[in-house]
Amino acid sequence: MTKCKCGRKPVYFRRYEGHYYCKCCFLSMIEKKFNKTVGKYRLVQNGDHIVVGLSGGKDSSTALYLMNRLLQKRENVSLTAVSIDEGIGTYRPKTLELAKKLCKDLEVPHKLYSFQKEFGKPLDKKIKGSKDACTFCGVGRRYLLNKASRELGATKLCVGHNLDDEAQSVLMNLLRGDLLRAGRMGTITENPAPKGFIPRIKPLRFIPEKETALYAILRGLPSPGSECPNLGGLRPEIRVFLNEMEQKRAGTKFALLESFDKLSPFVQKAVQYKGPLTKCKKCKEPSSKEVCKTCELWKSA
Amino acid sequence: MKVQVTYTGKTKSLTLKEGSSAQDLLEEMGINPEIVLVKQNNEIVPETELLSDKDKIDLILIKRIV
Ligand code: SF4
Ligand SMILES: [Zn+2]
Ligand SMILES: [Zn+2]
């Protein structure tokens, strides 16, 4: 019978490394990895106020749980969770309930912002007849998370993107020829941040999706449940492709992300990205164009 | 051997070769191990775990939640 190195019964086999983990060793391995990423990339510093973008799904819940755990020992860093209600059918109310409960359990302050209040319409109404729900949703959410973080006085915005999300994004940006966006990826982005922008940190970036899911289940955090009914576009296809490649060659996702991170400074140089240098003339939020993407999609008549 | 498999809300009975692992079961069902966690008689196990006759297997689909 297979065993964890401590002798207990395993719950997980990490293929790309060839090791078995029991529940206990798995949890502590993920926690160490999280803390190591935070340390290595200096994601958290004294005096920081961290806002965690919390959807109530497994990844953001795991990010909040681990960040809260890490900050227990630090008095000079504060933590707030922010949830965005985009207005997605019965799906979002369910995950928001989970988000609320988690914050209550962890005693982390929780703030809720909505598309309805900010843009005058929920996503469901906005996308009627349009296929590209995720564009409207993603652009609006990023905008609102940044604005909320700034209003709350945050110094960092923490998001729950895992290794799979990030490897998918690398491929998607390359396949779309969107080097500008590719150049903005990283474990910490917009740092130093242009005025009005809150640096984003991604401490789960080197943890595969399967491991964040297992962590969430073993810790009793919100775990795999329903999926957004709008999920479509290129991402699901890339996800299937990368999972097939990972099956054939364990470690593919890591290799993709790590090699891209090494190329990233050159990509930034090539596209000469200097950050959002101006303010949107409509909403006054930081933008690289006269009218920002959010106003273009959400605030045009 | 025969095992009972529950996946995405549906339960069915499957006959497998003796000595089959959870990994073999996933292959038989055409499911990539990257998208599921396997429970054998209510305990999470690695896919390399060997299955036994009358096992109850739950496949937990890992979904992307934004
Ligand atoms: S899948 Fe698309 S529509 Fe659904 S929450 Fe994610 S970005 Fe929004
Ligand atoms: Zn162990
Ligand atoms: Zn604007």
For B22, other C-beta atoms within 10 Å of its C-beta total: 23
CATH number of the structural domain spanning residue B12: 3.10.20.30
E strands present in chain A: 10-14, 19-22, 49-53, 78-85, 110-114, 156-158, 188-189, 200-201, 278-279, 286-287
**Closest residue, chain B, to A232 (C-alpha):** B64
The alpha carbon of residue A51 is apart from the nearest alpha carbon of chain B, in Å, by 17
The alpha carbon of residue B28 is apart from the nearest alpha carbon of chain A, in Å, by 15
In a domain, B9, yes or no: yes
Chain A residues 164-203 with CB within 8 Å of chain B: 165
Q: Which of B32, B44, B63 sits opposite A247 (nearest CB)?
A: B32
In a domain, B39, yes or no: yes
pLDDT at A158: 98
pLDDT at A269: 86
Domain count, chain B: 1
Quick: pLDDT tens for B9-61: 899 999 999 999 999 999 999 999 999 999 999 999 999 999 999 999 999 99
Query: Of A58, A60, A226, A230, which is best to mutate to test ligand 1, by the most ligand atoms within 8 angstroms of its C-beta?
Result: A230
Per-residue pLDDT of chain A (301 residues; tens, 9 = 90+): 789 999 999 999 999 999 999 999 999 999 999 999 999 999 999 999 999 999 999 999 999 999 999 999 888 999 999 999 999 988 899 999 999 999 999 999 999 999 999 999 999 999 886 778 888 999 999 999 999 999 999 999 999 999 999 999 999 999 999 888 888 889 998 766 677 889 999 999 999 999 999 999 999 998 767 778 888 788 889 999 999 999 999 999 999 999 999 999 898 888 876 666 788 899 988 887 889 999 999 987 5
Q: How many Å from the N-terminal Cα to the C-terminal Cα in chain B? A: 40
pLDDT at A129: 65
Quote the domain boundaries for residue B24: 2-61
Take atom 3 of ligand 1 and give the residue whose Cα is closest: A134
From the alpha carbon of A123, which atom of ligand 1 is closest? 3
Q: Which residues of B touch A94 (CB under 8 A)?
A: none
Contact partners, residue A206, CB within 8 Å, separation at least 6: A33, A37, A163, A254, A257
